[in-house]
Structures are given as C-alpha cells and as structure tokens.
Amino acid sequence: MTGKASLSKALDRFPRVRMTHAPTPVESLNNLSSDLGLRLSIKRDDCTGIGFGGNKVRQLEFYLGQACEQHADTVLITGAVQSNFVRTTAAMAAKLGMACHVQLEDRVATDSEHYRSSGNVLLNRLLGASVHHYGVGEDESGADAALDDLAGRLLQSGACPYVVHLGMQHPPLGALGYVSAAMEIADQLQTMDRVDVIYIPSGSALTHIGVLYGLRMLGIDIPVRGVCVRRSKSLQHKRVVTRLNELGEMLIGPVPSSCIELTDIALAPGYGIMSESAREVIEKTARREGLFIDPVYSGKTMSAVFQEADQLQGKHVLMWHTGGQPALFAYQDAFGYQPPVE
C-alpha cells in the first residue's frame, strides 16, 4: 500500500465531522517576495470557513467527531482569553446544535479593555457560549481539571458533556486534522515549483506535528520549520518529540525526531504579547499584500520569515497561515494608532 493509501486508511479509523472549506488556496505574495529577496507563497488556512476559519477547524473535525460518536450535547474547552480554538469550538458546536462552555485563562498579563471584551471574546458571546474564568495562566493540567469538574456538574444536571482537552495527558487528536492537511498540500505541491521550506506556528504543536508527520509519511522531505509562539525552543522541542511519537502510535508508526526543526526567533517578549517586529510585519503584510495576519501566531510566524530572510535568499518559502485575525481587534491598543485629527 502507498503512503497515501495507508495514511487515509489510518485516518478513516477516527470519527470526524467535516466542516473545513478545503482545499484552502495557496497564493503567491509577489510584493513581499521582492521586498525580501525570496519567493513567498502562503497556504490560506485562515480561509477554512466556519466562524472566521483558521487552523482549529481542521483539528476540531476530529474532537467533535468523537463528541458526536459519544452523543454529546455539550462541548467544553479551555484557552487564553483571546483563544481562537475557543471561538472556533463555539462556532462548530453552534452548527452542530450543541451547547458550548468556554473557560478563559489569564495567560496574558494585560490591562487592555479591548483584550478582555473585543475580538474572540465578543465572538464567543455572539455564538452563545457560556463563559467561565480560570485565574491561572500556564497550568494546562489544572485548567483541564477545572474543565473536568465543570463537565461533572453538567453531567449531574442531565447534560452529556464532551471535553476538548489540551493537556499532554490526552492524545493529540487534533493533529489528525493536519495529517489530512499534509495530504492536501502534497497534492498542491505537485503543481507548484519546488518549495524549499515550510514555516508554521508551533504552540500546542498539533498543527506542526500533523504537517510534519503527514509529509514524511508521504515521502516528502521539505523542512517544516516550527515557529515557537508559546514557549522556548528547548521546551517546545521536548513537546514536539513527545507529541510526534504519540501521533505515530495513533497512525502508522514513527517518524524520526531528527526531522524536527524549530526557531524561537519571533517568540519574545512572550506568548500573546505582540512584539515590535510582529507589529511591523503585520502592517507590512497588510500594506503590501492586502492580507491580514494576527498578533499571536501568524504574525510571529511571518516575523520569523522576515528575520531569517538573509538565510532564505532565492529560496521558495511556504508560510502556513493559520488564521487568528479576530484577535487584531483585541490588540488594537498595542498598535498605538491615534484617532484622526480634524
């Protein structure tokens, strides 16, 4: 059996609800290409459809597939206040007729009123999600445990809850969506000039490992450069190794961890805080290409491409746009624009 056939067969073992507008387009960014001295293409996973799209739609197809299989009527998820995962879950749950409870963690230190009430927070409200607060930032297992407690209370009141767990104690189900996306890009690569490197954000790492695993299993050796957006390269490396091995166990065997590439060049000053470099890159991408990228994920990924442009001269770079633009409205204070003058 070919790599493609075995991967498809392995993916088919997992329940799935299909909602992604796929294949998402691959576009050339000609203006930025000439500015940077390289050839820049972009995979538009900001255009995956439902609820402003983004990478989490592909991941949630598998979590919510499991939820439907378990006849759940209520979905629970935890994330940062401006989490795109939370907003996308609320949108997909709405479409499936499920109630949604979202728990917002204090992961980013800010006193911005827009951060607390606009962007994804506003969208969660529009989507009818019940919003809960978790007062700690970096405590994945604590946040999952609080969500499990809430699920227990909902169960007692007669609901059938399903929890989308983010912690490392749970299998990396969402990565399956990006194994499937790797199969999609593999088809698109056949009609494109050779891509030299793919840049992709690496947070929970499920997008990163899904693409990396899928491509390697299809015999495609393009480097997949994970851009750290949440933690340092050394911490992220440990996470990616673990998650990649777990994915191998869920599917058709391991890929070597030697294929993992990471950079944390764009991480500072930390998760969820827009750097000066990301701000400039967001503005430049909007002004040169009419394209929006976000302050937390795609902006930092593009910032890594800009910062590493010297080593990429003449190369064909594919930047994987994972969405997140609603957060632009939550970060408007950080852009520092003044009101128009009379």
Ligand X SMILES: Cc1ncc(COP(=O)(O)O)c(C=O)c1O
- The two counts, helices (H) then strands (E), for the chain are 14, 10
Q: How far is the CB of 107 from ligand X (least distance, A)?
A: 11
DSSP conformation class of 228:
E
Q: Is 177 in the site for ligand X (CB under 6 A)?
A: no
157 is catalytic: no
Q: How far is the CB of 229 from ligand X (least distance, A)?
A: 6
Give the residue, chosen from 119, 203, 214, 272, that forms a contact with ligand X under the rule CB under 6 A.
203
Element (H, E) at 269: none
Q: How far apart are CA 180 and CA 7, in angstroms?
A: 9
Q: Is 207 in the site for ligand X (CB under 6 A)?
A: yes
Specify the 3-state DSSP secondary structure of 131: strand
Q: How far is the CB of 193 from ligand X (least distance, A)?
A: 26
Which residue in the shown chain puts its C-beta closest to ligand X?
324
Most distant CA atoms of the chain, gap in Å: 69
Give the residue, chosen from 186, 195, 205, 222, that forms a contact with ligand X under the rule CB under 6 A.
205
Q: How far apart are CA 83 and CA 105, in angstroms?
A: 9
228 phi, psi to nearest 5 deg: -65, 125
Site for ligand X in 304-323 (CB under 6 A): 322-323
Distances (CA, A) of 200 to 54, 204, 239: 13, 12, 16
Q: How far apart are CA 20 and CA 42, in angstroms?
A: 18
Give the residue, chosen from 48, 74, 204, 303, that forms a contact with ligand X under the rule CB under 6 A.
204
Using the rule CB under 6 A, give the single segment among 12-20, 23-31, 50-58, 139-147 that binds ligand X.
50-58
Q: Is 63 in the site for ligand X (CB under 6 A)?
A: no
Active-site positions read 83
- Applying CB under 6 A, the residues found at the interface with ligand X are 54-56, 84-85, 201-208, 294, 297, 322-324
